[in-house]
Amino acid sequence: MWSVDEVVEAVRGVPFRVERRVFPDISTDSRDIKEGELFVPITGKTFDGHLFIGAAYERSHGGALCEKGRKDILDGVDGAKGTVILVEDTTQALLDLAHYKRVRTKGTFIALTGSNGKTTTKEILVRIIGGAHPVHYNEKNYNNLIGVSKSILSIKGSPEFFVFELGTNSRGEIRQLAEVTEPDVALITNINPSHLQGLGDLEGVLEEKLDLFRLTKEGGKVMVNADDPHLLPRYRDKGHDLRTFGIVNEADFRLTVDEDLGWDGYVFTIDFLGDSVKAKTSLLGRHNLYNILSASSIAYVAGIDTMHIGEAVESFPPYGMRFRPVKSSKGYIIVDDSYNANPSSMEWAVSTLSGLPCPGKRFAIVGDMKELGEKTSYYHKELGRFLKKSGVDQIMLIGDEVKEAFTELDDGRARLFESKPSLIDYAKKLLSDGDVVLVKGSRTAKMEEIVEALI
């Protein structure tokens, strides 16, 4: 419940018209706004939520925020009635409303970011904490300025823990998200080339992600990946309780693989400074071991019992489009890793594919890696060279950027396709019982369409 006075205080706004003085909730979508809710019209490069202020009021009979520079629209929109509060920027106002709620909410706020593994780490962590305590979190990968703000504003009841995945594709977004969430516990999974179009280079990625640590509460817990070559050397103590985690290097929390079970996953032990847990996971790939370790480390410092950590990890299944094996009707296995791709995640996926048992042949269907900016050609050529050295028997490429990878694959194992239907037809004729095929590419490539066709 929000009063007009609370909204005005939170957004530093100016009341333009006051009819309704209390709002049960806040909405950014005029299509599903509920009775009495306050509408926040978000603007972007290709849309302007102010155009829907009238429609929102017709459904809610509540009120709206409006940018001062768009005040003229209030006269021209049929039904633009109700309470209206003027602000400088509606997106910033949404962030301000979220922060206003955050500082008035009791509980432990956990925030995590990184180039790879954010969503899986968050989902594992929520599984661990949620089995012992009430937990609120941003669902799916709603990790941008709008998604995180709406998630905070949707908090109901009295959860003890709050878990937020923070994403970025341009400079300054992690700072804004960290200012809103004010985390008590923070973790950066890793630093790798990703979103270079908006962040410039690897240094830009590092600087952007480190803003999470810089804005973690003084005295808060900071979790640093000891195996990442970029993080520890650049971490600057801000009065935090620092903990490290790793698989290769010495760390406070360390994971050791006891048994590689192939397609059945791993048996592993995590040592928390002498307090250890042994468990099994069905997740595949070394990258997922880091996701498990990251989530388990946060859970441990949050006070979750090690036995519960182990049980929760064991119950977490492969999910979504993140290195999930699927048996096709013809007997071959499709490894669906179609959710997204950047240079490091592509190499991890191919390496894992090369190491898994395979009675037949190994295939890789590879799409473009997006948002690499000026380094697009470089990283796709690197991918081509990596694929050439891999244990993959045949490679199918689709997209504009992967043409650069194709130029490096001159040994007859690769084929470039202009369309998905032609690739799918070719793959169906080639794949047979006992084969394994990895499907991976950036989100915009929609590689899941290939997965669905091959099942």
Write out pLDDT tens, residues 244-280.
999 999 999 999 999 999 999 999 999 999 999 999 9
The one-letter amino acid code at 119 reads T
382: confidence class by pLDDT, cuts 50, 70, 90: very high
Percent of the chain with pLDDT over 90: 93
User: Taking a C-beta distance cutoff of 8 angstroms, is the pair 435, 362 a contact?
Assistant: yes
Maximum separation of any 2 CA atoms in the chain, in Å: 73
> Where in the chain are all domains bearing CATH 3.90.190.20?
324-454
Report the top-level CATH class of 105-314.
alpha beta
Mean residue pLDDT across the chain: 95
- Per-residue pLDDT band for 7 (boundaries 50, 70, 90) equals very high
Cα–Cα distances (Å) from 17 to 21, 37, 90, 230, in that order, read 10, 16, 17, 52
Span 185-229, pLDDT tens digits: 999 999 999 999 999 999 999 999 999 999 999 999 999 999 999
Which residues belong to CATH 3.40.1390.10 in the chain?
Answer: 2-89
What are the tokens at 172?
């300054």
The answer to whether residue 174 scores a pLDDT higher than 60 is yes
Q: What is the CA radius of gyration of the chain?
A: 24
Give mean pLDDT, residues 338-351.
Answer: 97
The strand pair at 266-272 and 362-366 is best described as unpaired
Residues of each domain in the chain carrying CATH 3.40.1190.10? 105-314
CATH fold of 2-89, please? 3.40.1390
Element (H, E) at 7: helix 4-11
Is the pLDDT at 84 greater than 90? The verdict is yes
User: Which class would CATH give 324-454?
Assistant: alpha beta
Q: In this structure, what are the phi and psi dihedrals at residue 262, rounded to the nearest 5 degrees?
A: 65, -125
DSSP of 335-395: EEE-S---HHHHHHHHHHHHHS--SS-EEEEE------GGGHHHHHHHHHHHHHHSS-SEE
